[in-house]
Amino acid sequence: MKKIVKNSDVVHFTKVTRKLLDDYDAIILSGSHLSDREDIKNRLHHYQWVKSVDKPMLGICAGHQIIGEIFGAKRFHKKEDAEGYYHIYIDERGPILKGIRSDFRVFERHTDSINLPRGFILLGHSRVCDVEVMRHKSKPIYGVQFHPERSKKRVLENFVDIVKPVKT
């Protein structure tokens, strides 16, 4: 991540405050261990700020699910665990997918998925996950179920490009 996002910090979710968020141009909610599934459900109250932040935000894997749940999506356990490389099919283009083919391979490792939350647009799906890529209709909030840091760095580069105009 540091190769693409030069000036970044890792902040534990329990340390996030509104004042701290003011110091950053954008937010990336990263993944978690597969064993954290129940813990995430019990920690959602720590992420209520997600709805009120007006900065570009990208959720990756569990971060994608957290954003979805905060906006009303249901998280559910998949019959088939996703681990390995899968094809993503683009349903609708958006800035986060700029320059990416209409079907592309990504690395995934997750046991849960979400449905599309109200107020979001589906950008991509796969055979193992109906909501692989999503964006909020009116805010610069994006979620990807896969791991772009492992297999599709272009998504992270596109997120940096989304942040740049906001910064100036």
Given this model, what pLDDT does residue 84 score? Answer: 84
Q: What percent of the chain has pLDDT over 90?
A: 45
What distance in Å separates the CA atoms of residue 84 and residue 102, rounded to the nearest whole number?
20
| Higher per-residue confidence, 148 vs 167 | 148
Q: How many of the other CB atoms lie within 10 Å of CB of 96?
A: 25
What distance in Å separates the CA atoms of residue 116 and residue 130, rounded to the nearest whole number?
8
Over residues 148-163, the mean pLDDT reads 88
Active-site residue, selected from the candidate residues 12, 129, 149, 157: 149
Active-site residue, selected from the candidate residues 61, 69, 110, 129: 61
CATH class of 13-149: alpha beta
3-state secondary structure of 9: coil
Check if 149 is active-site: yes
Query: What φ, ψ does residue 51 adopt, rounded to 5°?
Result: -65, -30
Question: What is the pLDDT confidence band of residue 24, given thresholds at 50, 70 and 90?
Answer: confident
**Is residue 6 predicted with pLDDT exceeding 60?**
yes
Given this model, what pLDDT does residue 89 score? Answer: 96
12-21, 23-32, 54-63, 113-122: range with lowest mean pLDDT: 12-21
Summarize pLDDT for 48-103 with one digit per residue, the tens: 899 998 899 999 999 999 999 999 999 987 767 777 899 999 999 999 999 999 88
Ranges of beta strands (E only) in the chain are 27-29, 57-60, 75-90, 103-114, 120-125, 133-136, 141-144
Active-site residue, selected from the candidate residues 64, 110, 125, 147: 147
Given this model, what pLDDT does residue 135 score? Answer: 98
Check if 87 is active-site: no
Residue 133 burial class via C-beta count within 10 angstroms: exposed 0-12, middle 13-18, buried 19 and up: buried
Taking the domains of the chain in order of start, what are their residue ranges? Answer: 13-149
Out of 4-8, 12-16, 116-120, the most confident range is: 116-120
Tell me the H-state helices in 8-99: 18-21, 37-43, 62-70
Given this model, what pLDDT does residue 73 score? Answer: 97
**Is residue 29 predicted with pLDDT exceeding 80?**
yes
Check if 129 is active-site: no
Question: What is the pLDDT confidence band of residue 131, given thresholds at 50, 70 and 90?
Answer: very high
Q: What percent of the chain has pLDDT over 70?
A: 88
